[in-house]
Chain A
Amino acid sequence: MAEGVCVITEFRDGAFRRVSFEIASEGRRLADELGGPLLAIALGDGVTEVAPDLGGYGVEKVYVVDDPLLKDYRAETYVPIAAEMLESIEPKVVLSAGSVDGKDLSARLAARLEAGLATDCTELKIEGGALAAKRPMYAGKALAWCSWSEGAWPQMATCRPNVMDCLPPDTAKKAEIEKTNVALPGSNLTLVVKTEKEVGGKLDLTEAETIVSGGRGMKGPENFAMLEELATLLGGTVGASRSAVDSGWRPHADQVGQTGKVVTPTLYIAVGISGAIQHLAGMSSSKYIVAVNKDPEAPIFSKTDYGVVDDLFRFLPVFIEEVKTLKSTC
């Protein structure tokens, strides 16, 4: 009989991505409620070395396949291995990362296993011995609770990065490792031609704790240097409205909103952004929202914790100096 929880980790460039620890922590909580073990699947090139560390987040046992062919995520290698593992482990609940690769893997697995999948979940709970998942729809304009049909197996969910609480790891605890050698399919239908790292290791918006976004009010690409400076001081990253992206001032990956990234940082600072419904949809669930706008009637002010009505070109330099002073004294 299916029992317990299994998390599918994401390993890249020699380390687990943080979202893996978030889903492991969440998995631990669910497994305690459900009864049954917390297991993990770890696939990658060189993953054996760090796999035991998952124990620090409450994982009891990790099923590992370590192979140079697993260096990059490719559906034709990852999907059959993970599907076979899930069929033999038979967990009741499967959690995976709502990342670019995690989305591909989990949707393929759900189709292969004929499973129900709730994507981008922001809250999970156990109800009557089964999973219930909360997920935003319409870019967060609505929130839905989802449940799985009687007998549907497994109950699969992906978690949005940066949302689930990550436990402080107990570094003394190590997970048991079960290594499997599998003959990897030789099929070469897809090929990773190259991977170019973002210069300066720019944090992805979906994973940033602080985002400083600029809109049309920034007047031109050169003025984003101020936002870059502020973001760096605060350990965050820069985002943009669609107007700023459409104007060619910022790369498309910076766009926040219903047709950009939906973000949930601890602090979101909107500078020269009016707060169109599509933009608000993408950032309204940030913990703290600050807006700087010279128009007191701008709709963005209906969502802000702290509003600054001022000319951004006057306000920002002064504010940046204040933050610098604060940082130098603490």
Chain B
Amino acid sequence: MDVIVLLKQVPDTETKIKIDADGKSIDTSDIKWIVNPYDEYAVEAALRLQESDGAMVTILSMGPERAVEAIRTALAMGADKGVLVDDPATEGSDALGKAKVLAAALRSMDFDLVFCGHRAVDDDENQVGIMVAELTGIPHLGMAVSIEVADGKARIERPLEGAKVTLEATMPALVTFGGAHAVWNPRYASLPGIMKAKKKPLEQKTLADLGVSPDEVGAQAAKMQVTSMGLPKERQAGRVLEGDTDEKAKELTRLLHEEAKVI
């Protein structure tokens, strides 16, 4: 069984965001980069299949040279090999542009399952994985909080507003992972894992290698773009209530009722 994990490198969630001088993107000068947490869940799920079914796990990422580090992290967790699509022409791609590149890369690879996070915690778009499924013509099981693979089928559970749904798809299929850290508990890279990762194959590809024309992707092909970016209005720290417990409880009730009018 071949499992390909689509993985994105994103700014650390601890990052305090600053807007770049261009006014349309974030200032990346002091950023620490991490593997997108939801992609980490996908890597964990793939590695469990590697253990139970001998699945071959390949990490596929798109991004600049620094993304090699994110792939190495996944290799150190236990993935078998990595592919990075690194081409300056992909810069400025919208979700569809990115999905086209990834779908093109998948075309040249063998897979039974494609895994990825349901969203990347930078752009928060929730689109790329689903679009890859559409462009590849395969089913998508979204926001998985559990997965079982048997008899050529993948079965997941996922939350739906106010309900839990069990879904099944015929493979090949794409699964996007949701839930929380507590659901997947992704393993850490061990020291021997890190040593081994250095020797695992990591291939770099360009658009030409994938047979994608540069004008299908990148900023000029984007259907949608960010025109300005800003920080949300700083919330003003409000008042801290005074008095003993009884007085504070009375005052909070009154404020919520009379001032905020929310209870």
Contact = CB atoms under 8 A, between A and B. Distances in A.
Interface of A: 17, 75-76, 79, 99-101, 103-104, 107-108, 110-112, 114-120, 132, 135-149, 152, 155, 188-198, 201-204, 206-207, 210, 234, 242, 245-246, 248, 252-253, 255, 258-260, 262, 266-267, 277-278, 281, 284-285, 287-290, 296, 301-310, 314-315, 318-319, 321-323, 325-326
A305 B11 CA distance: 30
Contacts of B140: 75, 104, 108
Closest 7 CB pairs of A and B: A116-B224, A116-B223, A107-B130, A252-B180, A305-B238, A111-B134, A152-B223
Contacts of A195: 160, 163-166
The B interface, classified by DSSP as helix, strand, loop or mixed, is: mixed
Given A108-B133, A289-B235, A306 B256 contact: yes
Contacts of A307: 237-241
Contacts of A206: 161
B135 A198 contact: no
Contacts of B38: 259
Interface string B130-164: 11011100111111010000000001001111111
Nearest to A260: B180
Contact of A245 (B121, B164, B180, B263): B180
A148 to B, nearest CB: 5
Given A100-B159, A142-B19, A315-B249, A326 B130 contact: no
A120 B160 contact: no
A21 to B, nearest CB: 15
Contacts of B181: 242, 245-246, 259
Contact of A322 (B19, B222, B253): B253
Among A110, A245, A304, find the residue whose CB has the most chain B CB atoms closer than 10 A.
Answer: A110
B126 A119 contact: yes
Contacts of B160: 100-101, 195
Contacts of A301: 237, 240
Interface stretch (B68-76, B77-85, B91-99, B207-215): B91-99
Given A103-B126, A141-B231, A193 B166 contact: yes
